[in-house]
Structure 1
Amino acid sequence: MSLRTLVFILALAGTSAIAAGLSLEEGRKLWSLQPPQIVPGASIDSLVEAKLAEKKLKPNAPASRAALVRRLYLDLTGLPPSDLSDRSDLSDVVDTLLKSPHFGERWGRHWLDIARYADSNGRDRNVMNYHAWRYRDYVIASFNADKPYDVFVQEQIAGDLMPAKDNAQRDERLTATAFLALGAKAFEELKQDLFHMDVVDEQIDVIGRGVLGLSVACARCHDHKFDPIPMADYYAIAGILRSTQPLYGHGPRGIKTTMFHHTEFHALGGEAGQKLAPAALAYFTKLDADMLAMHTARSDRYRYRIQKRLPEAKRAVESATGEAKAKADADLKAMEAEIAEWNVTIKKLEDDVEALKDVAPPQPAWTMGARDREAISDCRIHLRGETTSLGDTVPRGFLQVISIPSAKPPAKTQSGRLELAQWLTHRDNPLTARVMVNRVWQKLFGRALVTTPDDFGVNGAKPSHPELLDYLAVRFMQQGWSVKKLIREIVLSRAYQRSTDRSENATLSDPDNVWLWRMAPRPVEVEVLRDSILALSGQLDPYPPQRQFLDRFHPQKDAELFTFKPFLTVEAIVDHHRSVYLPVVRGTLPEMFPLFNFAPPERPVAQREESLVPAQSLFLMNNAWVLEQARHAATRLLSDTSLTDDTQRLRRLYERAFSRPPTAAEQTRALAYLKTGGPETAWTSLCQTIIASAEFRVVR
């Protein structure tokens, strides 16, 4: 028997043979749990270049202005530059991009990966989250407004418990709490306690990995095997979240589940919204009850027993004679009459439900979210994670290894989410700022300083530049937790602005560019690729949609979607808005998204996978949508009266696609190719070649 098998068996047996993680005393010595310290007089470049000197590496020269401008546009807005004639200072270019509404669309999507954002539930009942888009738009608006990151986190954990200056801020903070409700749930789970604890576990996981960079959820069944997180700490936080009622929106209708309330929302819009909410919720309750009655009638066991006996009764009529035949015939007619009566009843129920679906009363603006439960209580330890095997009760609280004397404990009359949010974002919490600045660095350089961005624990990677990580974390907090100020400082550094040129000696010494002697080329995310294709073709609608994509579906009639109804594969891909506004339906993503490594919405994703596989090239060569965009790009060039010949058109194409003119060799080859066919066909083919090229798909 292998050691791995033995450990697995012992884990199932619930024995103490699995080694616990670090003690609290040892854990507080872990590098990530030490308070971040800043070196006096340090800067990004002084710290990076000191490490380069230590490693005897020569840094690259700065990239060309054109390459830097394209890099900045793609990194900060996710769109290619549209005007290369602007010769303003790079700092002014950065400021302009940070003020652009496209900044929030780009950087909000990064957070949505962590928040496991989706417009449907997935799992056993793929119920549509019709109002999840409000949370998505809240995230985008927060990044555009440069909302302090500590407030941003607090609102998502406890926005409903925070004071609001007006109805608009109240609505915003209620919407933020959808963060706690967006996870996939097993709606058909019949065990109430198990359902609730699975939801709590998922919430602990997204808070732990997303905010703290720790796998806190690993302590559900036993003390954490590696990190200083005992089971008691898991259940201290679980008590806070068990005292919280997630508002999932529409639950599955017409089935018996663990959910007593099949429709739970926050009503937005102040008093006007509150007035509309009771009648609307009562309507949903009646719709669910009527659908349950309809489904119950359809599946009635007595009716099915009669239906099952019909073939035998018909054979009896055919084979019997005399009085026996008359009796068999009477029995058959009675059975058929009873089934017909059932069918009339079912048809009436079906007609009533269909009619009810079209007469919903006026609705307030809804949002998913969370609120405190009426009963606030501490949680008992679940031995081996079993809801039927309970241990001691643990007072609601936080991780003991991060002891902050000035942090308030959970209030007795509330869930404790507000205090949890304040503890997470306390200046003395050593993880929260470090985790966020590490994420920002990873998005801008392609490689994080800590290469396990959701694991700052014992098994996580140690930072390549610990002093730099601490410098950024302290500066982040000193500058009011401003993400824009953090990004501005990074992108204006020499480290960010280096060229991507390869040096033979440096490549041999540091092939992974750990020490930042150059800027490593990075493949763009699928959203950037799709948006860049639409921008090149002139088909991109750069404004947020006035009508949400899911509005084209009936909220009562199309409540649930499954993998056998892949409605997104055609319609979504021809939507001309930015990709961040496309719905994320678990199980039915557009073909392009998983192919180019979209973040799986079932779990928090700190870092997307990167791959270069033949299927991606085949998609760009053969997909009908790509061919259509190439034709639009060609038509756009050929119809531009300011371009008088193919040389000018070619230069414009390269500038739009690569932010540079073609080289002499590229121009010669392209002009020769354009002479081999009709103008429209040749230009379409050339535009598709540009779209499929490696340079179009890479940030350099």
Structure 2
Amino acid sequence: MHLKVYQYLLAGLIAPLLASILLYGCQEGGAKINPEIPDVISYNFHIRPILSDNCFACHGPDANKREAGLRLDTEEGAYAALKENPGKHAVIPGDPRESMLIQRIFSTDPGQMMPPPESNLKITEHDKNLIKKWIDQGGKYEKHWAFVPPEKQDLPENDKEGWSENPIDPFIFARMKANGLSPSPEAEKSYLLKRLSLDLTGLPPQVEEVKGFLNNEQSWEEMIDHYLAKPAFGERMALLWLDISRYADSFGYQNDNIRTQWPYRDWVIHAFNQNMPYDQFLTWQLAGDLLPNPSKEQLLATAFNRNHKITEEEGVIHEEYRVEYALDKTNTFSKVSLGITMECAQCHDHKYDPVSQKDYFSLYAFFNNTPEKGFEGGAGSPVRAKTPLIWVEEEDTKNILSFVNHPDTSRVAVSIMADLQDSIRPTYVLDRGVYDAPTGEPLVAGTPGVIKAFDPELPRNRLGLAKWAFADDHPLTSRVFVNLIWQEIFGKGLVPSSADFGMQGKLPTHPELLDWLAVDFREHGWDIKRLIRLIVSSATYRQSAQVEPKHMELDPENVYLARFPRLRLHAELIRDFVLSSSGLLVPEIGGPSVKPYQPAGLWEASSSGRGELNVYRQDKGDKLYRRGIYTFIKLTLPPPSLLIFDGSNRDICQVERNRTNTPLQALAMLNDPMVLEASRVLAERLNKTHENPGPAIEEAFIRILSRIPKKEEKEMMLAFYEEELARFSAEPKVAQVAVEVGEFPMLKEQQAKQSAALMQVLIALYNLEEAITKT
């Protein structure tokens, strides 16, 4: 390989891994904290994090580990007389001098100081003074921030020119300024367009879109509307929701076999493209069957509740699995709507959040009244869904379910939700969460009062639960969804722990902005496209991703967003990017899942599949080139091409994905048949449309990197092409072997040596870090 190209390619492969290593070394302390003591001290945002890190292990909510009877996580515990010294109190509001907490944390006596030396914990002088000032100001405890309904505060004053047009920017700039940072300049137009296209459609911009935008033929706002209107928008958004709704194409567990929930996936894509308001979108999924005279579309939406794993094992205990399914539904609802770890209270009262086991099973009662069975037939059943179910008929796809892409005339079964009609199944607290250990009196379906008491005027069923979740004063539903959308765009939510808004979750980095967006989202009819348009219209979004030395010094984790984060694409979107940029992508929306290339023998070597899932039968033709969202997901053995790039295995509700950098990912990009085939097909097409390699390489840059190459880049790649052409001219058999990859028909008029040479250039471009990274 040409030396300069080798260095160019090596930089593209190693850059993400090296960056993660360097960043990890800088993340120990996170962002550099402003040393100034705030004028007003907040328990939630200043004091509780200090106490949680240093004191709660011995003086927190866990009664089994509590020392000296002192509890510092509640007002009552902190103000109470000390068990071992009744004349003293840990916290005396307004009197830090007499507060034993202050005496102990400022003490230098090893026998008195807290935390004790053997704990290896140490409170900084800055944090000690924060606690002292907090007590001096009254030592006031606050209700956990996430359990207080959001309020829309006035926008901060903004003295940064060009940063006041969008309501998001004043909040971001205020936090930057307070921490010694200033915004990065706007990114180059080519990077901006690639970023926008990937965020809104999951696909790279087309060549004509790049050229038009660079030539100022369309404004930024016009491009936003252009991408929001594309059918690919629904597919991009559905990727997040399918992780949440744990969509898969098999039942799971050991005796795994195929199931046909894919019409639900078609509905999700359709709902996003129609810009269905979020309150309606989630209500239909939670309780579409309980709406007055529900339509077949509303019934189909409730498949959301039935996407959990379902056993087909002979000899299982029916009640054990029926309870397991109801638990899964409860946990999924709590993650997507409440954003708290309710599942921790299945076996005992939550140790950190004020949620009891009774609270948990009262919520569980909403999902415990279904006629669903724990076991319903074995893996040999010809029906690919479990009761209750609906059949999607050919007639349906011509009328109310016209968005369902059904390729033939057969009917399709989909598992949906329903409630018992003639009775209500009693719900009990289950001792240690065990299915056959009910205790106490029957429970009434209800919600954790610490979040919001259940309105007695609402029906005590899933429809009432949905109305409860979307009440104007609900503290969590709008915050949680806004945070998920922010996470999809910036890689990390305003609440970094997007699955945990509770006591042990991370504090919001921009609490005022989170609340402003949450209220604004609700006030504007839960309009998802409007929310996304607002975010991508901001100056914050349009910043360069270039990392300056000051950024690394003051804010290595980019908490304050003084630059745009560099983010590798999700697993499915890497596939989409390669297919789209090469021209191989078949843009068909919806339909049954497909089986693209996969290493031979994986399914066969596993005993986890039965019937159709015992042997992997790769698809042919157009099915090989569908978007990643349509790849068949077998729960017991998910697609390796997706898992390598941190794809979800879909066995539980997942609201965020990891982003790792591993050598295996680099090897996949170098050797995946899809990447090699895409490079071969694009090389053939470029050679056919361009007489000379120079223009062909320039178009390849636009297709793959969404920008025009720099002079030195074009010269380097031309030199590489000539070197490879000479090699393949001398070894025509090697050239022929190189292009014989993939099943897409070869252009017969093409010379193998020219195709193989340009193919190597394209492989190099695909393997650059820039290619599969949103910058």
CA 1:270 to 1:378, structure 2 compared with 1: closer, same or farther past 3 Å?
A: farther
State the distance in 1 between where 2:267 and 2:521 align. Answer: 22
- Which of 1 and 2 has higher RCO (CA within 8 Å, sep 6+)? 1
Say if 2:321 and 2:375, in contact at 8 Å, map to a contact too. Answer: no
Q: For the Cα contact (< 8 Å) 2:221–2:537, is it kept in 1?
A: yes
Larger Rg: 1
Give matches, 1:87-98, under 5 Å: 87-98=217-228
1:454-479 C-alpha deviation (Å, 9 max, x unpaired)? 10001100000000100110111011
1:181 to 306, 309, 332: 306
TM-score (norm 2): 0.70
Displacement after TM superposition at 1:150 (Å): 0.9
Aligned equivalents of 1:140, 1:691: Cα separation in 2? 28
2:722 aligned partner: 675
Question: Which stretch of the first structure deviates more once superposed, 144-153 or 367-376?
Answer: 367-376
The residue aligned with 2:203 is 79
| Structure 2 letter corresponding to 1:484 | K
Change (3 A) 1:545 1:114: closer
Structure 2: distance between partners of 1:69 and 1:668: 25
Distance 1:572 1:591 in 2: 21
Are the counterparts in 2 of residues 251 and 263 from structure 1 also a CA contact under 8 Å? Answer: no
Q: Distance in 2 between matches of 1:617 and 1:572?
A: 27
Q: Who is 1:606 aligned against?
A: 655
Correspondence for 1:219 among 345, 368, 392? 345
Tell me the TM-score normalised to structure 1 length. 0.77
* Contact in 2 for aligned 1:545/1:581 (Cα 8 Å): yes
Measured in 1, the distance between the counterparts of 2:179 and 2:665 equals 37
- The letter for the 2-side match of 1:391 is T
Structure 1 residues 262 and 162: CA distance shift in structure 2, 3 A: closer
Which residue in 2 is equivalent to 1:30? 144
Q: Equivalent residue of 1:680, what SS?
A: helix
In structure 2, list runs of 5 or more residues that go unmatched: 1-61, 78-140, 157-166, 398-408, 596-607, 726-752
Show the counterpart of 1:657: 704
1:390 to 418, 438, 441: 438
Using the TM superposition, give the Cα deviation of residue 583 of structure 1 relative to its aligned residue in structure 2, in angstroms.
2.0
Instruction: Give the 3-state SS of the residue equivalent to 2:150 in structure 1.
Output: coil
Mapped to 2, the partners of 1:571 and 1:379 lie a distance apart of 50
Provide closer, same or farther for how the CA distance between residues 22 and 376 of structure 1 changes in structure 2, counting only shifts above 3 A. Answer: farther
Q: Which runs of 5+ in 1 are unaligned?
A: 1-14, 274-361, 551-558
Match of 1:510 among 544, 555, 560: 555
Residue 372 of structure 1 pairs with residue 486 of structure 2: no
SS in 2 for 1:695: coil
1:472 corresponds in structure 2 to 517
d(CA) in 1 for partners of 2:295, 2:585: 34
TM-fit CA distance, 1:562:
8.0
> Residue 199 of structure 1 aligns with which residue?
325
Change (3 A) 1:147 1:546: closer
Amino acid at match of 1:171: K
Cα separation, 1, equivalents of 2:183 and 2:232: 32
SS at match of 2:670: helix
Instruction: Specify the alignment match of 2:529 in structure 1.
Output: 484
Between the aligned partners of 1:218 and 1:136, the Cα distance in structure 2 is 30
The amino acid of 1:37's aligned partner reads E
Are 2:485 and 2:532, in contact at CA under 8 Å, matched by a contact in 1? yes
1:628 and 2:677 aligned: yes
SS in structure 2 at match of 1:367 = strand
Q: Secondary structure at the match of 2:295?
A: helix
Match of 2:291 among 147, 162, 171: 162
| Matching residue within 65, 74, 78 for 2:189 | 65
**RMSD of aligned alpha carbons:** 3.1
The whole-number CA distance in structure 2 between the counterparts of 1:581 and 1:231 is 39
Provide the C-alpha distance between the structure 1 equivalents of 2:299 and 2:347, rounded to a whole number of angstroms.
32
Distance 2:474 2:75 in 1: 15
For the residues of structure 1 that align with 2:375 and 2:712, how far apart are their CA atoms?
Answer: 58
Q: Secondary structure at the match of 2:417?
A: strand
2:229 to 95, 99, 117: 99
How many Å separate the matches in 2 of 1:125 and 1:409? 41
Question: Which residue matches 2:102?
Answer: none
Instruction: Supply the distance in 2 between the matched residues of 1:404 and 1:479 (Cα, whole angstroms).
Output: 25
The one-letter code of the counterpart of 2:184 is N
CA distance in 1, matches of 2:72, 2:424: 31
Identity of paired residues, percent? 30
What is the number of residues matched between the two proteins?
A: 576
Paired amino acid for 2:222: D
**Separation in 2 of the partners of 1:685 and 1:371?**
56
Q: Is the 8 A contact 2:702 2:708 kept in 1?
A: yes
1:133, 1:402 → 2: CA distance?
A: 34
Counterpart of 1:114 in structure 2: which amino acid? I
Residue 309 (structure 1) aligns with: none
Name the residue aligned to 1:279: none
Listed one character per residue, the Cα deviations across residues 97-156 of structure 1 (whole Å, up to 9, x for unaligned) are 1111100000111111111111111112213112x1011111111111111111111111
Aligned to 2:316: 190
Query: Post-superposition shift, 1:214?
Result: 1.0
Q: Tell me which amino acid in the other structure corresponds to 2:302.
A: T
Question: Do the aligned partners of residues 402 and 378 (structure 1) sit closer, same or farther apart at CA in structure 2, a change above 3 Å counting?
Answer: farther
Specify which of 356, 359, 373 is matched with residue 233 of structure 1: 359
Measure, in 2, the Cα distance between the counterparts of 1:64 and 1:407.
55
Once the two structures are superposed, what CA deviation does each residue of 1:210-240 show, in whole Å capped at 9, x if it has no partner?
A: 2210111221111111111111111112222
Q: Contact (CA 8 Å) 1:382, 1:388: kept in 2 or not?
A: yes
The aligned residue for residue 696 of structure 1 is 771
* Separation in 2, partners of 1:28, 1:170: 45
**Contact 1:219–1:231 (CA<8 Å) still a contact in 2?**
yes
In the TM superposition, 1:231-270 aligns within 5 A as 231-246=357-372, 251-253=377-379, 264-268=388-392
Higher helix share: 1
CA distance in structure 1 between the partners assigned to 2:244 and 2:145 by the alignment: 24
Distance 1:649 1:271 in 2: 48
CA, structure 1 residues 252+52, in 2 after alignment: closer, same or farther (shift >3 Å)?
same
Asked if structure 2 preserves the Cα contact closer than 8 Å seen for 1:248 and 1:368, the reply is no
Partners of 1:695 and 1:220 lie apart in 2 by 45
User: For 2:544 and 2:201, how far apart are their aligned partners in 1?
Assistant: 20
